[in-house]
């Protein structure tokens, strides 16, 4: 196959193509853009990547990924330390924090119980969660897990394990999404929405 | 190659960025996997939840290919189960048992109908943990029979009598009567009334129904482990283990009825 660029550029394209959302074609376009904007884009990107790669850490308290320890969330004195929100993954933490409706602490579980993938309670950060929930200032643990069979099964398992801690264990509501129309919803969602109906004030 | 059939979702695992490999149980094609384009996307992810009943069409160039599914939701029982840990644990347990025991593309219509019935029990609001536990033990007994390891619980293996069958031989899987098994009771497995083919020993109100349910799961778990799981170097599925643990916790909390 005829080559139009060096093996270094080819390698860069191959690495870029491994990123989510990018295939070989879009990776080539991205690399080409970087090459065209070498000083304004490529060098700053390389420096930023280098700095983050050197400094990145997993927060020993909540499991968040950050360049400081403890992470930005755990180190923020304005946060409400009496509430811990349990999420599956760092992506969920970023999504929840982006909404700016929750100002408590987080705990990254590292996945959900799954027989198929062989994920057992020992593979998740359940022990550290129980230790954190046992601290006297913690009053509530919110289980913000996916509305899937695995997510909900894990939620109930966690609720059982947290029984001995003196905390209120809550879960996210399930139901009609914002902008959702009833005739487009599946009957499972409609059933959970009906079960979780509330009084209109 | 193409077929269309009603199917119950057993599991789905991610494949690439946006697709999934779906595994379903059908009456005529058994446990069957297939590729679902966009299976991890917002529109289809909800359909691929374990327990959902779908109309699936499987297409492949060759019979031995993985093939691709197109699907339509017929019914989702999950709305009734979300928020209830026991139902979800029982659902996870039966799906894990099926996946670990049943060979692919081996049709077992009886198992499909038994699973559909079990799903109805799990969905019914009036059903209790006892129904889920006994239902799982009965399903596993049927699974053993379908796979060629049927327990012979009709007559006593020693005397040939059909009276007071309360034990099962761990070696042969045959029933043993109370008289013949008395001397060996420590080595025999207990046969609960609801698994007995004669239906003897039905509780009169004084019997410990929970103990019967647990004995049923111990009995079927023993033979599934010995005949199927251990042969493939596998232990009891963790989801089944967690369900049994949950049942024991409920009984300790005295909320089991």
Q: What would the pLDDT profile of A111-146 be if each residue is shown by its tens digit?
A: 998 877 778 889 999 999 999 999 999 999 999 999
Q: What would the pLDDT profile of B172-205 be if each residue is shown by its tens digit?
A: 999 999 888 888 888 999 999 889 876 655 555 4
Sign for the pseudo-dihedral over CA of B74, B79, B81, B82 = positive
Q: What would the pLDDT profile of B3-54 be if each residue is shown by its tens digit?
A: 999 999 999 999 988 899 999 999 999 999 999 999 988 888 888 999 999 9
Identify the band that residue B257 occupies on the pLDDT scale cut at 50, 70 and 90: very low
Type and span of the H or E element at B223:
helix B209-224
Distances (CA, A) of A83 to A139, A158, A166: 6, 16, 12
| Residues from chain A contacting residue B73 (CB–CB below 8 Å) | 186-187
pLDDT of residue B99: 94
* Residue whose token pair is 């992810």: B45
Please tell me the distance from the alpha carbon of residue A22 to that of residue A26, in angstroms, as a whole number: 6
pLDDT of residue B6: 97
B99 touches chain A (CB under 8 A): yes
Q: Check pLDDT > 50 for residue B153.
A: yes
pLDDT of residue A64: 95
Q: Check pLDDT > 60 for residue B247.
A: yes
Strand partners, B26: B7, B30
Please tell me the distance from the alpha carbon of residue B240 to that of residue A33, in angstroms, as a whole number: 53
Please report the ipTM that was assigned to this predicted complex.
0.79
Please tell me the distance from the alpha carbon of residue A107 to that of residue A141, in angstroms, as a whole number: 9
B21 touches chain A (CB under 8 A): no
Residue of A116, A150, A157 lying closest to B99 (CB–CB):
A116
pLDDT of residue A175: 86
Please tell me the distance from the alpha carbon of residue A102 to that of residue A172, in angstroms, as a whole number: 12
Q: What would the pLDDT profile of A47-88 be if each residue is shown by its tens digit?
A: 999 999 999 999 999 999 999 989 999 999 999 999 999 999
* B80-93 average pLDDT score: 90
Q: What is the CATH number of domain A65-199?
A: 3.40.1360.10
* B78-102 average pLDDT score: 92
Q: How many CB atoms lie within 10 A of CB A60?
A: 11
User: Between B254 and B242, where is the model more confident?
Assistant: B242
- What are the structural domain ranges in chain A? 7-55, 65-199
**Pairing mode of beta strands B165-168, B53-59:** unpaired
**Among A residues 49-68, those touching chain B with beta carbons less than 8 Å apart:** none
Q: Do B78 and A160 touch (CB under 8 A)?
A: no
* A98-114 average pLDDT score: 92
Please tell me the distance from the alpha carbon of residue B195 to that of residue B136, in angstroms, as a whole number: 11
Q: Which fold has domain A7-55?
A: Helicase, Ruva Protein; domain 3 (1.10.8)
Q: Taking CA atoms, what residue in B is nearest to A170?
A: B83
Q: In terms of Cα–Cα distance, which of A100, A99, A97, A48 is closest to A73?
A: A97
Please tell me the distance from the alpha carbon of residue B61 to that of residue B161, in angstroms, as a whole number: 55
**Average pLDDT of the residues of chain A:** 91
**DSSP string covering chain A:** ---SS-HHHHHHHHHHTTSTT--HHHHHHHHHHHHHTIIIIIHHHHHHHHHHHHH-EE-TTT--EESSSS-TTTT-TTSEEEEEEEESSHHHHHHHHHTT---EEEEE--S--BTTTTB-GGGTTHHHHHHHHTSTT--EEEE---SSHHHHHHHHHHHHHGGGSSSEEEE---SPPTT--GGGS-HHHHHHHHHT-----
| Residues from chain B contacting residue A149 (CB–CB below 8 Å) | 49-51, 78, 88, 91-92
Distances (CA, A) of B92 to A43, A151, B47, B85, B98: 50, 11, 16, 10, 10
């Amino acid at each position: 196959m005829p080559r139009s660029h060096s093996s270094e550029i080819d390698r860069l394209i191959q690495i870029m193509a491994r990123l989510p959302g990018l295939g070989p074609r879009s990776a080539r376009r991205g690399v080409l853009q970087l090459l065209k904007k070498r000083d304004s884009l490529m060098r700053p990107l390389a420096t930023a990547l280098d700095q983050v790669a050197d400094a990145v850490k997993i927060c020993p308290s909540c499991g968040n990924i950050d360049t400081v320890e403890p992470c930005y969330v755990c180190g923020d004195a304005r946060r409400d330390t009496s509430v811990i929100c349990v999420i599956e993954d760092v992506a969920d933490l970023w999504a929840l924090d982006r909404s700016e409706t929750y100002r408590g602490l987080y705990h990254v579980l590292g996945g959900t119980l799954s027989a198929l993938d062989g994920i057992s309670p020992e593979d998740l950060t359940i022990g550290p969660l129980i230790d954190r929930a046992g601290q006297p200032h913690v009053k509530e643990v919110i289980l913000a897990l996916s509305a899937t069979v695995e997510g909900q099964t894990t939620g109930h398992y966690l609720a059982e394990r947290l029984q001995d801690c003196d905390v209120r264990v809550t879960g996210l509501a399930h139901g009609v999404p914002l902008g959702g129309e009833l005739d487009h919803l599946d009957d499972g969602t409609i059933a959970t929405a009906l079960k979780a109906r509330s009084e209109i004030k | 190659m193409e077929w269309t059939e009603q199917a119950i979702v057993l599991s789905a695992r991610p494949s690439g960025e946006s697709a999934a490999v779906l595994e379903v149980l059908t009456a005529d094609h058994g446990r069957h996997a297939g590729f679902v384009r966009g299976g991890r996307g917002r529109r289809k992810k909800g359909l691929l939840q374990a327990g959902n009943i779908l109309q699936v069409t499987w297409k492949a160039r060759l019979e031995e290919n993985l093939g691709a599914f197109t699907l339509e939701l017929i019914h989702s029982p999950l709305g009734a189960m979300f928020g209830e840990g026991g139902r979800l644990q029982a659902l996870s347990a039966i799906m894990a048992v099926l996946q670990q025991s049943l060979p692919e593309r081996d049709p077992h219509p009886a198992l499909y109908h038994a699973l559909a019935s079990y799903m109805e029990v799990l969905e019914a609001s009036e059903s209790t943990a006892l129904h889920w536990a006994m239902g799982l033990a009965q399903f596993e007994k049927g699974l053993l029979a379908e796979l060629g390891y049927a327990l012979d619980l009709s007559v006593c293996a020693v005397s040939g009598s059909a009276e007071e069958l309360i034990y099962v031989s761990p070696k042969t899987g045959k029933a043993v009567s109370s008289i013949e098994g008395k001397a060996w009771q420590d080595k025999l497995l207990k046969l609960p009334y609801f698994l007995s083919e004669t239906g003897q020993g039905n509780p009169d109100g004084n019997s410990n129904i929970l103990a019967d349910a647990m004995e049923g799961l111990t009995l079927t778990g023993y033979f599934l482990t010995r005949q199927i799981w251990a042969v493939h170097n596998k232990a009891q599925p963790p989801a089944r283990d967690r369900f049994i643990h949950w049942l024991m916790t409920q009984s300790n909390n005295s909320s089991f009825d």
